[in-house]
Amino acid sequence: MGPVPGRSLSLHYFALALALQTTQTAPEASRVIVVSFDAAGYVMTSRLLAEGKLPSFDRMVRGGAWSDGMMTSFPTKTAAAHALLFTGQHGHRNGITANSVLRSPPSAGSRLETLNGFFSESLRAEPVWATAAARGLETYVFHAPQVYPFRPQPHLNVVYGYSEAISRGEVLDPKAVAGSEACEIRFTVGESRYRGVFLDDPADPTVGCDSLEIAAEPEPGVIVARVTAGDGGSFSEPIAASLEGPERKPAWFSLRLFMLSPDCASFTLYRSGTSALVTSPGDLLERETPTLRAYGGNGGGRAYGSGGFGPTLAQGGSGEAERRFLETELHLAGQLLEQARWALSRDYRLVILYSPVVDDVAHELYGYLASDLEGYDQDLARRIWPILEEAFAVQDRFLGMLLDVADHDRAHVVVVSDHGMSGTDKLVHLNVALEKAGLLTLGPDGSIDLTRTRALAPSLGDASVAVNTVDRPGGVVPLEERSMVLEELRGALSSLKDPVSGERIVTAFFEPATTGLLQPGGESTGDLFLDFAPSYYPSTAIGGSGMVVERTEPSGEHVFVPTRRDMLAVFAAYGPSIPKGVNLGRVQAIDVTPTILDLLSIEPPEDLPGKSLVPGRGVLNP
């Protein structure tokens, strides 16, 4: 566990020498760069690391501290895990128990009313960026959950790409119309309208149409972008668009013409996602270029999943759809890289970065890699694995840039993720099961009738079920009957069996807890938490076929107990205060905020339950 004594000593002397060097001036300021790679789970990362596929990660692990996986929040959902990572408090304290939360206090809303857990309104604990900025440390945060709506403060610089003003990427499907001189298309993005003209570039040896020129209407004379078709092409320069939304900030998107037939009658044209980046302070990026301000939010996962890039490998495709999908992720990663470089070129003390690239790809593809699923196809898995590998490689190159900057700036780098991935191919419709058990009643319009419902699975996406007690509006169960209904609820869920194997679907119940490893529960969620047999994912949908169990396409999902091996996240740290080649063993997300504060030489607030993971803390940090 601990560092080799000799090495520790030499590092200690090094630190001393450094302290002596700087005694005449102010003590050297420690800098910290934190990056969260969404869904970069421990199982996948450590496998690729062992196979030598992640050179930057390897450099970080050899030159710093690694861990045998990190336990995050229960449920293992993105908003909840990030709130835990960046406040150092569990959901019952920080208010973010899943991607959606119930209103707080309970009297403020029924169990059918939910709020977005990615937004800051429900966050009740201080995030680490606020603590650092309050100490006067220049802090930059990009796209992290719960930064928005902003809580402005001096020294805190925030860039956020997931506000209301966002338009998802899509494969554009306008009909090409034969104009007088060329084939034209028209399309809209948000409130902006565009006209595209396919043409034969005389400089391009391809016979027939090979490129596309875009003009913004109503100024058709001005060409705003030009793209070349096929493998030789690339994403266009950023094109300005206006999105509806409260902030009225400009947004940019790019086009990628993956395929164009010579007669321009058929084409595959992808329009990247576009987000009107909101910032705090509001003018933070005002003078920066569109290249820096363009952000897609996500890659083309949705377009890929709906067949927009052509048949997928699972549908018998050639791998072309996957290559196109990866190109959209590479484009997104390039935007994040630009933004990170910009922040790191400034006088920063703390930079927090978030990247959704692996999550985008793993949701679509991880299900085909899960050998415990019924339809598992080894040949297909062998062809899909390299796609996921490439998504990790994209992140690894990003990490390489951060390590280079860290070496130059004598900064620390902390890498975290929020959860892993598990393959699923069955939904268990919890509310359908509760209806069949007589605990839940639907109204004539097919929605949950709270006046006749004793228990339900609120649509929080967190695998919780709730008793409809009178402490929330719409509640009908007196508080003294709560434990009786809970017993009934356990009975109903325990009796759910897999239609083929006859095995139990709900494999474990967890009570809300404010101590111990998992600590699920809190005011903003349900009363009982569930874990499931492999291959099952919970659904709160109602109606549909009326079946409790529904087969789906294989998918990558996360919500399950964070102690499950495939749910483990990663933690690694690197920099002057971190001894080389240390393995910290299994760590917990609760310790990440104290670690960041420690690296910044900030005394942690007394109510933080976690401890700094910096090895030999107090020896290397004067």
- Interface with Zn ion (CB under 5 A), residue total 5
Largest CA distance in the chain: 81
- In the complex with Zn ion, the residue whose CB is nearer, 252 or 354, is 354
Helix (H, G, I), strand (E, B) or coil at 274: strand
Residue whose C-alpha is closest to residue 573's, from 552, 557, 596: 596
Burial 6-36 (b: 16+ CB within 10 A, else e): eebeebeeebeeeeeeeeeeeeeebbbbbbb
Of 73, 78, 339, 424, which lies in the binding site for Zn ion, with binding defined by CB under 5 A? Answer: 78
Task: Give min distance, CB of 358 to Zn ion, in A.
Answer: 9
Residue 597 CB, shortest distance to Zn ion, in Å, is 23
State the DSSP string of 97-122.
Answer: -SSEEE-SSGGG--TT-EEETTSGGG
Choices 179-187, 410-418, 549-557, 589-597 (CB under 5 A): range interacting with Zn ion: 410-418
**Which residues from 142-201 bind Zn ion, rule CB under 5 A?**
none
User: By CB under 5 A, which span of 70-78, 136-144, 327-335, 374-382 interacts with Zn ion?
Assistant: 70-78
Least separation in angstroms between CB 299 and Zn ion = 14
User: Closest separation between CB of residue 353 and Zn ion, Å?
Assistant: 14
Task: Please state the closest distance from residue 16 (CB atom) to Zn ion, in A.
Answer: 41
Q: Which residue is nearest to Zn ion (CB)?
A: 78
Question: Are residues 467 and 455 in contact, defined by beta-carbon separation less than 8 angstroms?
Answer: yes
Using the contact rule CB under 5 A, the part of the chain among 35-43, 204-212, 288-296, 407-415 near Zn ion is 35-43
Write the Ramachandran bin of 461: left for phi over 0, alpha for psi from -120 to 50, otherwise beta. Answer: left
566 contacts Zn ion (rule: CB under 5 A)? no
Q: Which is nearer to Zn ion, 30 or 275 (CB)?
A: 275
What minimum distance in Å lies between the beta carbon of 359 and Zn ion?
5
Which lies closer to Zn ion via its Cβ, residue 82 or residue 412? 82
- For residues 548 and 592, which CB has a smaller minimum distance to Zn ion in the complex? 592
Concatenated DSSP letters of 541-602: --STTS-SEEEEEEEEE--S-TTSGGG-B-EEEESTTS-TTEE--SEEGGGHHHHHHHHTT-
> CB–CB of 144/82 below 8 Å?
yes
**Binding-residue pattern over the window 431 to 470 for Zn ion, x denoting contact by CB under 5 A:** ----------------------------------------
Closer CB to Zn ion, 570 or 597, in the complex: 570
Reduced to 3 states (helix: H, G, I; strand: E, B; else coil), residue 57 is helix
Give least dist CB 39 to Zn ion, A. 5
Q: Among residues 162 and 194, whose Cβ is nearest to Zn ion?
A: 162
Instruction: Choose which of 210, 389, 418, 531 interacts with Zn ion (CB under 5 A).
Output: 418
Options 44-52, 152-160, 306-314, 351-359: segment touching Zn ion (CB under 5 A): 351-359
> What's the closest the beta carbon of residue 553 comes to Zn ion, in angstroms?
20
Q: Helix 378-409 and helix 320-344: axis angle, to 10°?
A: 10
| The one among 38, 126, 360, 598 contacting Zn ion by CB under 5 A | 38
Tokens representing 214?
């875009």
Helix axes 55-63, 42-50, angle to 10 degrees: 90
At closest approach, how far in Å is the CB of 36 from Zn ion?
8
Residues of this chain, 475-504, that bind Zn ion according to CB under 5 A? none
Measured CA to CA, the distance from residue 485 to residue 227 in angstroms comes to 62
Residue closer to Zn ion (CB basis): 78 or 525: 78
Q: Which is nearer to Zn ion, 87 or 279 (CB)?
A: 87
Instruction: Report residue 235 as tokens.
Output: 């994403």
Region near Zn ion per CB under 5 A, out of 175-183, 225-233, 352-360, 497-505? 352-360
CA-CA distances (angstroms) from residue 613 to 205, 591, 598? 59, 7, 9
Secondary structure of residue 72 in the 3-state scheme: coil
Comparison of 118 and 129: residue with beta carbon closer to Zn ion: 118
Q: Which of the residues 353 through 382 are near Zn ion (CB under 5 A)? A: 359
Q: Is the peptide bond before 3 cis (omega within 30 degrees of 0)?
A: no
For Zn ion, which stretch binds (CB under 5 A), given 309-317, 415-423, 536-544, 565-573?
415-423
**Contact footprint for Zn ion (CB under 5 A):** 38-39, 78, 359, 418
